Chain A
Amino acid sequence: MHPVIFIGASVLVGILFAMQEWLNARRWGYKIGLGFVSEMWGMQFLLWGIICWLLWRFLRPFIINARPSALLTRVLPLSIALSIMEEMIWVLFFPRVPIDRPPMDYWHRFTFQLNAEFVDSIAIFWCAFLFFRVVAYYQQFREKETTAARLQVQLVQARLSALRMQLNPHFLFNAMNSISSLMRSDVDAADLMLEQLSSLLRITLERGEVQLIPLRKEVEFIEIYLAMQQQRYAGRVEQTLSVEPGLHDALVPALILQPIVENAYVHGLSKCTGRGNLAIDIRRDGKRVRMSVVNSGIGLQLGLEEPGHRGVGLTNVRDRLRLHYGDRGSLSVREVGTGRVNVTIALPFQNNARGTDEAARFDT
């Protein structure tokens, strides 16, 4: 909120109190100028407006997150100190107050004022504090809603791009061309490849709206994708996939690995003529899950010069990591050794405590 608006609103409240006091005074037969009362109240609320605005500006995280114990140990002393300070400043501005009394020195006036107004000041502070907490909660709530909505959009995009991966000329038509070629040379292999293509489509379509899925489901998807690529590259690429056993239930964003593995093929492995290799390694690293995809190929520079969609795929991965995990998720792309590219995703380890939907069934 703009400070002028905030402090202006605070002064307005002060003026309302002043009007009330002025009306009361008239009713009881006292004579007191409206201007003077307004000045006194206005000044008090002006000071509080400035104090509260400063608090909001600089201590917002503390105000939002303070625990109940901190309310006693930190906020209560703060409220007392600020109330005293406010009264000290206020008294400076009004040497004639209290009125109808012989002149007093500053400290005398201060103690008199403190006596009369201290409780009110404390009340003002706590009302403002409470107001801030409520506003902050509301803001946080709104923020969460917005983030959820954005995640939803991102997931839809990821699903669409996974579908596009299967339906784009690169993938679908080449896969179909492979099938068409295999139909003449090796009918069983053609059959198998169609089965795998269907499995990928089926899993993509069935996954639904879920944002985070157990790692093993993501890995399962990658396994089919790899099996298909293995056929297309006719054993030219040596694939390894290792997953630390404790991570099968770790939650990861759906389809987070697929664009990276796809990139490894499209921008790396497909460009090299000899034998290539692709290693996917997923392990736990303290409180994080680290997923790395290393592929041989032609390195980063050459791979990036091409006007491909590497940028789009990785940007989408990066965005989704940021939306889900903030600073705790990361994506790094670097060249390791000659022509080898290492893409690593790191994200916080979260276990899917609920276990899973579909267990195996036994007959008896």
Chain B
Amino acid sequence: MTIQIALADDEVLARQKLRLLLRDQTDCEVVGECATAGETIELVRAARPDLVFLDIRMPDMNGFDVIDALSAQAELPMPRIVFTSAYDQYAVRAFEVHAVDYLLKPFAAGRLSTTLQRFREQSNGCHPGERGEPNGERHTTRIVFKSKGRIVFLPVSEIRWVAAEENYVRISTGDETHLLRETMAHLQDRLDPQLFLRVHRSSIVNLQHVKEVRMDTEGETAVILVNGQKVSMSRGYRSKLQRLLRQ
């Protein structure tokens, strides 16, 4: 299924960059471009895109006004939104209106690929938090934070493991780590226990990334992740993990 995309930005070069980058994505089709908020609303009504890349500061209204106007029209299916902006101060608001992502300009091609991959996962419903489990509501599916000059909307499924560092937690994803001001207890509370397991006072692992549990010659147990990362484990958690892995 192709993803029908609309581009909304008052700068023609900004739209061109997106159009060129999206050309490399086989499953994406740009169905229209617009330079003002008014045009965007018209375009969404006419073309019914799945996804809109929306600039926040536009000449007539801002991106959030566009969303308000669109959601006021009940008959219209609401497209998913990716915000693009040179400013980072709207990130939390974007997160609250369930935007797919928030791209700070300028962004690299890799960053855009990540955004599209997240959109695909969310629309295929293979996103772990959206499987409609009974107590799924309590558990978070995404976290938003600032890291290294960027805005990150991180789906929890991408977390491999979490390590405590005093008042902070270090979240490891595939290729990088992020430092968040959080407690292990609070984070554990927000994560789905079917997917995340506390294996040590100072570590939580994502079970989907666990390869095996290994015991070394000194009798110390460690969890080995798919990427080879070794996370040490307390004895008390071992039986629990083995039970979960057998499921």
The complex places the Cα of A358 from the Cα of B168 at a distance, in Å, of 13
**A248 near B140 (CB under 8 angstroms)?**
no
* CB neighbours of A363 from chain B (8 A): 95, 98, 140-144
**B106 near A195 (CB under 8 angstroms)?**
yes
**A198 near B149 (CB under 8 angstroms)?**
yes
B182 is an interface residue with CB less than 8 A from chain A: yes
Segment with Cβ contacts to A, from B4-12, B50-58, B107-115, B215-223? B107-115
The complex places the Cα of A91 from the Cα of B196 at a distance, in Å, of 90
Please, which residue of chain B has its CB at the minimum distance from the CB of A246?
B166
* CB neighbours of B110 from chain A (8 A): 188, 191-192
A204 to chain B: closest CB distance in Å?
Answer: 10
Interfacial residues of chain B within 77-112, with CB under 8 A of chain A in the complex? 88, 92, 95, 98, 104-111
The complex places the Cα of A191 from the Cα of B142 at a distance, in Å, of 26
**A358 near B149 (CB under 8 angstroms)?**
no
**B182 near A361 (CB under 8 angstroms)?**
no
* CB neighbours of B108 from chain A (8 A): 188, 191-192, 194-195
**A355 near B148 (CB under 8 angstroms)?**
no
Q: Which of A187, A191, A248, A361 contacts B95 (CB 8 A)?
A: A361
Chain B interface bracket (under 10, 10 to 19, 20 to 34, 35 or more): 35 or more
B190 is an interface residue with CB less than 8 A from chain A: yes
**B88 near A224 (CB under 8 angstroms)?**
no
- Beyond A195-B108, A246-B166, whether A362 also contacts B143 by CB under 8 A is yes
B229 to chain A: closest CB distance in Å?
Answer: 17
* CB neighbours of A195 from chain B (8 A): 106-108, 111, 150
B181 is an interface residue with CB less than 8 A from chain A: yes
**B149 near A248 (CB under 8 angstroms)?**
no
The complex places the Cα of A240 from the Cα of B79 at a distance, in Å, of 44
Q: Which of B137, B164, B181 contacts A360 (CB 8 A)?
A: B181
Interfacial residues of chain A within 179-205, with CB under 8 A of chain B in the complex? 187-188, 191-192, 194-196, 198-200, 202-203
**A364 near B150 (CB under 8 angstroms)?**
no
A249 is an interface residue with CB less than 8 A from chain B: yes
A356 is an interface residue with CB less than 8 A from chain B: yes
B179 is an interface residue with CB less than 8 A from chain A: yes
B167 is an interface residue with CB less than 8 A from chain A: yes
A286 is an interface residue with CB less than 8 A from chain B: no
The complex places the Cα of A358 from the Cα of B89 at a distance, in Å, of 11
The complex places the Cα of A245 from the Cα of B202 at a distance, in Å, of 12
- Beyond A223-B148, A224-B148, A245-B166, whether A359 also contacts B182 by CB under 8 A is yes
The complex places the Cα of A355 from the Cα of B180 at a distance, in Å, of 12
The complex places the Cα of A206 from the Cα of B149 at a distance, in Å, of 10
B16 is an interface residue with CB less than 8 A from chain A: no
* CB neighbours of A203 from chain B (8 A): 149
* CB neighbours of A362 from chain B (8 A): 140, 142-143, 190
* CB neighbours of A318 from chain B (8 A): none
- Beyond A248-B167, A248-B179, A360-B182, whether A220 also contacts B147 by CB under 8 A is yes
* CB neighbours of A192 from chain B (8 A): 108, 110
B146 is an interface residue with CB less than 8 A from chain A: yes
A216 is an interface residue with CB less than 8 A from chain B: yes
* CB neighbours of A220 from chain B (8 A): 147-149, 179
* CB neighbours of B166 from chain A (8 A): 245-246, 248-249
Q: Which of A188, A198, A223, A356 contacts B181 (CB 8 A)?
A: A356
* CB neighbours of A355 from chain B (8 A): 167, 181
Interfacial residues of chain B within 138-185, with CB under 8 A of chain A in the complex? 138-150, 164-168, 179-182
A-facing mask of B101-136, CB < 8 A → 1, else 0?
A: 000111111110000000000000000000000000
B-facing mask of A95-115, CB < 8 A → 1, else 0?
A: 000000000000000000000
* CB neighbours of A188 from chain B (8 A): 108-110
User: Can you give 21 contacting A-B residue pairs, CB < 8 Å?
Assistant: A191-B109, A192-B110, A195-B107, A195-B150, A198-B104, A199-B149, A199-B150, A202-B149, A220-B147, A220-B149, A245-B168, A248-B166, A248-B167, A248-B168, A355-B181, A359-B145, A359-B180, A360-B144, A360-B181, A360-B182, A364-B138
The list of the 4 closest CB pairs from A to B, nearest first, reads: A199-B149, A245-B165, A191-B108, A362-B140
Residues on B lying within 8 angstroms of A by beta carbon are: 88, 92, 95, 98, 104-111, 137-150, 164-168, 179-182, 190
Residues on A lying within 8 angstroms of B by beta carbon are: 187-188, 191-192, 194-196, 198-200, 202-203, 206, 216, 220, 223-224, 245-246, 248-249, 355-356, 358-364
